């Protein structure tokens, strides 16, 4: 009861500006865990593919594609990434809400995916989930009391009287009062509803909670209170959290370690402060530089992530991030090309890739098969826009394209042959020609995890191999301003 | 209980209200039980049941023809055998008015009970259902529907007490019952059958007993008589029972099938859903009217075809052909709710599928069930009337509205217009009432819903 008022004293730090919040959060949450090696959940090469059983036998969506990590007892592991990168699916698969396509989730020696009967009930008690949207995750035809009680009923926990008392206890624990037992979710604010969701998740005394963006649907001022509640509960009950979020500042505040996900893959995993202070993977660097105000006072410059992630139905063969990577390895023979030229080559590559994957009508497909005319105008326009010449032989509109020719010699020849393939309607061929000419080791193999730093941090980037410049150096050179 | 007074007062008044009609309830239960046993093939009604029926009949009931009789005869100076010596029409009107007054008072008292519970005893000070009820109370079209449906239901429940005469005497065995009447110079006794012969409505002003008129034998007919001289009101009041029973049984069965299938297909999706789609498409592909005609002919000689004069078979056929349309209507909302996060949440702590369907999905489709159920009920009533009009369906002498319409068909333009018009208007009114009730419930549950959206069910069955 008193707890509902208590968070105000803690809010001060939350509502101040970003800089001091990061500093405070860093000091507060980086405390090393005494049981650092005691894993509560081990995720091994986990894969979750969605097959929408279409008649055409489309490729499955590879939402999670070969992920391995440990969650240590008592820690908070943050899981960040852009929307659609598979972080929610990963959380749901760990709990068994989605069926894993491959790999395993091991907890205390049992593979969670293959549990049944009594062991499954035990796991359902031990691991719970808090959902993103408290509007949607609470059945609004039930009273709060019934909602919180439901897990107890489902597991035949104690006597009905004990269950009732337990619910009152839980409501108090999350900062609600006894009267709320008889109210309906409609009568609560977003923050209070999320407290109900947390109380329900705690009902069966779990050890491990998956928090799926638990505060992203809430107002900023309420976010801080719920985060503080979660931290208090962790201290009090010795909980382990998998905290999924796209808000990097929240993760920095609450997480002990952070895993960065891109297109179904964990690209970097390490102690939160170390990752935030000196990100190893190019994607992490780009992501962190996107936090407003984050580059002030550090040696990093803002690196804008271009474009959108490729479709998880057909991820790039090599490094997942290769299509957008600001530190991508480039072939030596084209070392002389300018940064702008590379940017536009990447853009053209993306266009061809997307055209390959685009859903086309049957008539269009037939035309292509038969080698009939393809609408080449849009390709011509793209090329004119990017490189300043018109492949169809038409004239370039005034003011379109770059001021000076970007490509010459072999580079131009390669682009021309790719464009010609695309004009014939063969976008796959066009993509292959470009990859062939301008690709590198990044397009060929998936990078392994490398240990970086001495605190057990891992990062999956080819540039960590000896013989390559580190991502940080390259990004500073390519995108740095002046001489830093 | 902290404050028992409002509850005690309510229970006291409710007990008095119930006590007035306790005999009728006992009779209904006893005769229902006896009918159910009699419906079983090859089973004779045990003597105990018959005794039970007689005992129930002996319990006094306020609103019955025995307490307020309207049958009597004029003996030259006054009425003999009617209530307080009143004229038969006045006695009948008094009884009918009392029955309706009693019914509305009882329903009003139930509402008072709900409000007392809400203010004094319910712990939750607000529930989502309160909003629905409050919205419904402000929905005039829906309230009109409630009024019509309640009046229809009262007619169903009190059919024997409302009728000016009994089915046994007037419709089934008119030649084994006798009446006394005033010939103008003295009293005479004649069988009901003979009296009926002289009081039919045949279309000419000489041979017509219209609404609110007496026939030559001193009998009062609120709705006039049929061409054969039988009392139209008695016929309609008892016919309403058949309409409602067929409607309720068919809608109840098809709703049950549709709900179960909708929940299963929405929860398990995939192959279960596909299977349900295939089966329902196959059933929808069958011509309902043709099937009805064929089956009612084929089954008319069998034991199942004889239950309740063929009404039971009709209800089964309606249910068997009606559930796919219902299932289609429930499937969408069920799929929607099955994708809600609270279903996931329930799965995450290991709730069983049946409990998830019951607690987390069913409450969200009951609204649709009420809407489609009430509208389909109206459709079923029309369909049964239509079938009887065509000479199919419920067998004579069991009264049915459609048969009354049929009987009066050739007299529509004559003095005996009432035979077709009154039951026709009543069918329209009752069906409109059920549709209005459905509209009101839908608007109350989901105030943003488009009025057109769920209206598709209302036309069902109208083709028959």
Q: In this predicted structure, what is the pLDDT of residue B125?
A: 81
CATH 1.10.3720.10 domain range(s) in chain B: 240-459
Tell me, yes or no, whether A102 and A188 share the same domain.
yes
Distances (CA, A) of B408 to A327, B242, B392: 92, 20, 17
Q: Which residues of B touch A140 (CB under 8 A)?
A: 128
Measured in angstroms, the CA of A131 and the nearest CA of chain B are apart by: 8
Q: In this predicted structure, what is the pLDDT of residue B335?
A: 93
Contact call for B349 and A124, based on CB within 8 A:
yes
Q: Which residues of A touch B352 (CB under 8 A)?
A: 154
Tell me, yes or no, whether A235 and A361 share the same domain.
no
Q: Which residues of A touch B341 (CB under 8 A)?
A: 131-133, 136-137
User: Closest-CA residue in chain A for B125?
Assistant: A183
* Cα separation, A192 vs A198, whole angstroms: 10
Q: What is the mean pLDDT of residues A431-443?
A: 80
Tell me, yes or no, whether A259 and A111 share the same domain.
yes
Q: What is the mean pLDDT of residues A202-216?
A: 91
Measured in angstroms, the CA of B342 and the nearest CA of chain A are apart by: 4
Q: Which residues of B touch A186 (CB under 8 A)?
A: 128
The pTM is what? Answer: 0.79
Cβ-nearest to A187 among B126, B342, B344: B126
- Chosen for mutation from A141, A167, A206 (greatest number of chain B CBs closer than 10 Å) is A141
Contact call for A141 and B346, based on CB within 8 A:
no
**Chain A interface, Cβ < 8 Å to B:** 92, 95, 97, 120-121, 124-125, 128-129, 131-133, 136-143, 150-151, 154-155, 182-184, 186-187, 197, 200, 203-204
- Tell me whether residue A137 is in a domain: yes
Q: Which residues of A touch B126 (CB under 8 A)?
A: 183-184, 187
Helix H or strand E segment including A103: strand A102-107
- Tell me whether residue A478 is in a domain: no
Neighbours of A44 (CB within 10 A): 15
Q: Decide which of A392 and A22 is more confident.
A: A392
Query: Is A458's pLDDT higher than 60?
Result: yes
Q: What is the total count of domains within chain A?
A: 2
- Chosen for mutation from A137, A200, A201 (greatest number of chain B CBs closer than 10 Å) is A137
If we measure between CA atoms, which residue out of A292, A293, A286 comes closest to residue A309?
A286
Contact call for B124 and A143, based on CB within 8 A:
yes
Tell me, yes or no, whether A336 and A272 share the same domain.
no
User: Closest-CA residue in chain A for B128?
Assistant: A141
Beta strands in B376-433, from DSSP E residues, in sequence order = none
Q: In this predicted structure, what is the pLDDT of residue B360?
A: 92
Distances (CA, A) of B37 to A381, B31, B442: 85, 10, 39
Per-residue pLDDT of chain B (464 residues; tens, 9 = 90+): 578 888 999 999 999 998 888 888 888 788 788 877 876 766 677 778 888 888 877 777 778 888 888 888 887 788 888 888 888 888 899 999 999 999 999 999 999 999 999 888 888 888 888 888 989 998 999 999 999 999 999 998 888 888 888 888 887 788 888 888 888 788 888 888 888 888 888 888 888 888 888 888 888 889 988 888 889 999 999 989 888 888 899 999 999 999 999 999 999 988 899 999 999 999 988 888 888 888 888 887 788 877 877 888 888 888 998 899 999 999 999 999 998 889 989 988 888 999 999 999 998 898 889 889 988 888 888 888 888 888 777 877 788 888 888 888 889 888 889 999 999 999 999 999 999 998 898 888 876 654 444 444 333 333 33
Contact call for B348 and A95, based on CB within 8 A:
yes
Measured in angstroms, the CA of B350 and the nearest CA of chain A are apart by: 6
Q: Decide which of A22 and B287 is more confident.
A: B287
Class at the top of the CATH hierarchy for domain B240-459: mainly alpha
Tell me, yes or no, whether A114 and A258 share the same domain.
yes
- Chosen for mutation from B348, B353, B363, B364 (greatest number of chain A CBs closer than 10 Å) is B348
Indicate the range of A72-76, A122-126, A233-237, A428-432 predicted with least confidence.
A428-432
Contact call for B345 and A143, based on CB within 8 A:
no
How many beta-carbon pairs under 8 angstroms link A with B? 73
- Chosen for mutation from B126, B347, B349, B367 (greatest number of chain A CBs closer than 10 Å) is B349
Q: In this predicted structure, what is the pLDDT of residue A404?
A: 58
Measured in angstroms, the CA of A129 and the nearest CA of chain B are apart by: 7
Q: Which residues of A touch B342 (CB under 8 A)?
A: 136-139
Query: Is A175's pLDDT higher than 70?
Result: yes
- Bridge partners of residue A452, in order along the sequence: A457
Tell me, yes or no, whether A123 and A44 share the same domain.
yes
- Tell me whether residue A435 is in a domain: yes
End-to-end CA separation in angstroms for chain B: 55
Contact call for B126 and A204, based on CB within 8 A:
no
Rg (CA), chain A: 26
Query: Is A142's pLDDT higher than 70?
Result: yes
- Tell me whether residue A449 is in a domain: no
Extract the tokens encoding A467: 């013989």
Tell me, yes or no, whether A140 and A266 share the same domain.
yes
Residues sharing a CB contact under 8 Å with residue A314, sequence separation 6 or more, in sequence order: A59, A356, A357
Tell me, yes or no, whether A86 and A213 share the same domain.
yes
Q: Cβ distance B355 to B343 under 8 Å?
A: no
Q: Decide which of B37 and A154 is more confident.
A: A154
* Cα separation, B55 vs B49, whole angstroms: 10
Contact call for A128 and B347, based on CB within 8 A:
no
Contact call for A97 and B350, based on CB within 8 A:
no
Helix H or strand E segment including A42: strand A39-50
Query: Is A331's pLDDT higher than 90?
Result: no
Q: In this predicted structure, what is the pLDDT of residue A27?
A: 37
Contact call for A155 and B349, based on CB within 8 A:
yes
Contact call for A184 and B341, based on CB within 8 A:
no
Contact call for B359 and A128, based on CB within 8 A:
no
Query: Is A297's pLDDT higher than 70?
Result: no
Using a 10 angstrom Cβ sphere, with 0-12 exposed, 13-18 middle and 19 or more buried, the burial of residue A377 is exposed
Q: In this predicted structure, what is the pLDDT of residue A53?
A: 57
User: Closest-CA residue in chain B for A119?
Assistant: B350
Q: What is the mean pLDDT of chain A?
A: 78
Q: In this predicted structure, what is the pLDDT of residue A14?
A: 38
Q: Which residues of B touch A121 (CB under 8 A)?
A: 350
The predicted-structure confidence for A88-120, as pLDDT tens digits, reads as follows 999 999 888 888 888 889 888 888 877 878 888
Q: Which residues of A touch B125 (CB under 8 A)?
A: 182-183
Contact call for B127 and A124, based on CB within 8 A:
no
Tell me, yes or no, whether A240 and A346 share the same domain.
no
Beta strands in B185-340, from DSSP E residues, in sequence order = 187-191, 213-214, 220-221
If we measure between CA atoms, which residue out of B29, B18, B36 comes closest to residue B52?
B29
Q: Which residues of B touch A141 (CB under 8 A)?
A: 128, 363-364
Q: In this predicted structure, what is the pLDDT of residue B150?
A: 94
**Chain B interface, Cβ < 8 Å to A:** 123-128, 340-342, 344-352, 355, 359-360, 363-364
Q: Cβ distance B165 to B236 under 8 Å?
A: no
User: Closest-CA residue in chain A for B354?
Assistant: A154
Tell me, yes or no, whether A343 and A417 share the same domain.
yes
Q: Cβ distance A461 to A319 under 8 Å?
A: yes
User: Closest-CA residue in chain B for A141?
Assistant: B128
Extract the tokens encoding B364: 């969200």
Cβ-nearest to B350 among A121, A132, A200: A121
Q: Domain span at residue A356?
A: 332-439
Contact call for A187 and B349, based on CB within 8 A:
no
Rg (CA), chain B: 25
Tell me, yes or no, whether A343 and A256 share the same domain.
no
Q: Decide which of B442 and A200 is more confident.
A: A200
Measured in angstroms, the CA of A159 and the nearest CA of chain B are apart by: 18
Beta strands in B53-108, from DSSP E residues, in sequence order = 73-74, 79-80
Contact call for A184 and B352, based on CB within 8 A:
no
Cβ-nearest to A154 among B128, B350, B364: B350
A51 pLDDT tier (thresholds 50, 70, 90): confident
Q: What is the mean pLDDT of residues A165-185?
A: 92
Q: In this predicted structure, what is the pLDDT of residue B331?
A: 92
Last residue of a domain, one of A261, A277, A293: A277
Handedness of CA A266, A270, A272, A275 (dihedral sign): negative
Cβ-nearest to A136 among B123, B340, B360: B340
If we measure between CA atoms, which residue out of B260, B235, B244, B411 comes closest to residue B331?
B260
Q: In this predicted structure, what is the pLDDT of residue A37?
A: 60
* Cα separation, B303 vs B39, whole angstroms: 9
- Tell me whether residue A260 is in a domain: yes
Measured in angstroms, the CA of A191 and the nearest CA of chain B are apart by: 17
- Tell me whether residue A320 is in a domain: no
Q: In this predicted structure, what is the pLDDT of residue A447?
A: 82
Cβ-nearest to A141 among B128, B345, B355: B128
* Cα separation, A300 vs A296, whole angstroms: 8
- Tell me whether residue A349 is in a domain: yes
Extract the tokens encoding A335: 């070392």
Distances (CA, A) of A437 to A333, A411, A434: 10, 8, 5
End-to-end CA separation in angstroms for chain A: 54
Cβ-nearest to A136 among B341, B347, B355: B341
Contact call for B345 and A129, based on CB within 8 A:
yes
């Amino acid at each position: 009861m008193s707890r509902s008022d208590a968070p105000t004293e803690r809010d001060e730090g939350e509502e101040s500006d970003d800089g001091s919040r990061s500093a405070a959060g860093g000091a507060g949450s980086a405390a090393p865990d005494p049981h650092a090696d005691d894993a509560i959940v081990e995720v091994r090469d986990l894969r979750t593919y969605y097959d929408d059983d279409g008649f055409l036998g489309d490729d499955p969506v590879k939402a999670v594609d070969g992920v391995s990590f440990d969650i240590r007892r008592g820690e908070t592991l943050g899981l960040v990434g852009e929307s659609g990168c598979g972080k929610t699916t990963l959380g749901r698969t760990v709990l068994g809400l989605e069926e894993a396509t491959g790999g395993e989730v091991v907890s205390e020696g049992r593979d969670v995916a293959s549990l049944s009967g009594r062991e499954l009930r035990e796991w359902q008690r031990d691991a719970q989930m808090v959902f993103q949207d408290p509007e949607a995750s609470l059945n609004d035809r039930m009273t709060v009391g019934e909602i919180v009680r439901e897990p107890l009923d489902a597991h035949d926990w104690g006597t009905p009287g004990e269950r009732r008392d337990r619910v009152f206890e839980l409501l108090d624990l999350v900062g609600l009062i006894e009267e709320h037992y008889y109210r309906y979710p409609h009568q609560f604010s977003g923050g209070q509803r999320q407290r109900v969701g947390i109380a329900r998740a705690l009902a069966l005394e779990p050890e491990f909670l998956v928090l799926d963006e638990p505060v992203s649907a809430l107002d900023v001022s309420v976010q801080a209170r719920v985060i503080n509640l979660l931290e208090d509960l962790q201290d009090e009950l010795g909980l382990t959290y998998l905290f999924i979020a796209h808000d990097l500042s929240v993760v920095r505040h609450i997480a002990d370690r952070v895993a960065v996900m891109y297109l179904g893959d964990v690209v970097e995993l390490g102690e939160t402060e170390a990752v935030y202070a000196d990100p190893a993977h190019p994607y992490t660097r780009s992501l962190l530089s996107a936090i407003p105000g984050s580059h002030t006072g550090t040696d990093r410059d803002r690196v804008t992530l271009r474009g959108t992630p490729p479709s998880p139905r057909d991820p790039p063969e090599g490094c997942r991030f290769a299509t957008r990577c600001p530190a991508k390895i480039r072939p030596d023979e084209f070392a002389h090309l300018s940064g702008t030229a590379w940017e536009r080559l990447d853009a053209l590559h993306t266009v061809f890739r997307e055209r390959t994957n685009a859903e086309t009508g049957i008539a269009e497909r037939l035309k292509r098969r038969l080698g009939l005319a393809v609408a080449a105008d849009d390709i011509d326009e793209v090329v004119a826009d990017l490189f300043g010449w018109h492949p169809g032989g038409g004239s370039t509109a005034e003011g379109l394209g770059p001021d000076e020719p970007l490509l010459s010699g072999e580079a131009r020849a390669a682009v021309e042959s790719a464009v010609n393939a695309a004009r014939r309607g063969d976008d796959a061929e066009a993509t292959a020609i470009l990859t062939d000419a301008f690709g590198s080791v990044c397009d060929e193999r998936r990078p392994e995890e490398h240990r970086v730093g001495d605190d057990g941090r891992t990062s999956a980037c080819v540039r960590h191999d000896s013989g390559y410049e580190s991502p940080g150096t390259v990004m500073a050179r390519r995108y740095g301003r002046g001489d830093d | 209980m902290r404050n028992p007074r409002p509850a005690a007062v309510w229970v006291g008044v409710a007990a008095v209200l119930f006590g007035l009609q306790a005999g009728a309830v006992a009779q209904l239960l006893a005769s229902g039980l006896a009918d159910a046993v009699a419906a079983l093939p090859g089973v004779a009604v045990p003597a105990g049941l018959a005794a039970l029926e007689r005992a129930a009949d002996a319990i006094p009931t306020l609103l019955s023809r025995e307490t307020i009789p309207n049958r009597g005869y004029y003996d030259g100076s006054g009425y003999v055998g009617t209530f307080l010596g009143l004229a038969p029409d006045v006695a009948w009107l008094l009884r009918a008015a009392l029955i309706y007054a009693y019914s509305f008072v009882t329903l009003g008292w139930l509402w008072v009970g709900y409000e007392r519970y809400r203010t004094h005893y319910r712990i939750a000070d607000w529930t989502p259902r309160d909003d629905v009820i409050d919205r419904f109370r402000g929905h005039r079209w829906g309230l009109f529907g409630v009024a019509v449906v309640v009046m229809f239901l009262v007619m169903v429940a009190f059919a024997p007490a409302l009728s000016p005469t009994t089915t046994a005497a007037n419709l089934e065995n008119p030649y084994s019952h006798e009446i006394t009447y005033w010939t103008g110079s003295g009293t005479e006794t004649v069988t009901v059958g003979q009296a009926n012969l002289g009081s039919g409505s045949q279309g000419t002003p000489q041979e017509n007993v219209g609404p609110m008129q007496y026939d030559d034998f001193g009998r009062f007919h609120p709705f006039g008589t049929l061409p054969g001289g039988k009392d139209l009101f008695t016929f309609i009041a008892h016919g309403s029972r058949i309409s409602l029973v067929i409607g309720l049984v068919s809608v109840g069965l098809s709703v049950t099938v549709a709900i179960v299938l909708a929940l299963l297909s929405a929860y398990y999706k995939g192959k279960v859903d596909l299977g349900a789609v295939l089966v329902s498409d196959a059933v929808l592909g069958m011509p309902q009217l043709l099937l009805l005609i064929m089956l009612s002919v084929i089954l008319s000689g069998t034991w199942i075809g004889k239950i309740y004069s063929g009404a039971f078979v009709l209800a089964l056929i309606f249910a068997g052909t009606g559930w796919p349309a219902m299932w289609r209507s429930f499937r969408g909302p069920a799929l929607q709710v099955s994708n809600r996060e609270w279903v996931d949440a329930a799965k995450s702590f290991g709730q069983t599928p049946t409990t998830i369907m019951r607690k987390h999905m069913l409450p969200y489709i009951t609204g649709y069930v009420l809407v489609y159920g009430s509208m389909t009920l109206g459709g079923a009533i029309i369909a049964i009337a239509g079938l009887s009009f065509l000479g199919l369906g419920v067998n004579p002498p069991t009264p049915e509205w459609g048969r009354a319409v049929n009987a009066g068909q050739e007299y529509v333009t004559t003095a005996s217009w009432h035979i077709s018009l009154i039951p026709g208007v009543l069918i329209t009114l009752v069906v409109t009432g059920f549709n209005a009730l459905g509209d009101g419930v839908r608007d109350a549950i989901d105030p943003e819903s488009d009025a057109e959206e769920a209206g598709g069910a209302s036309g069902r069955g109208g083709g028959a």
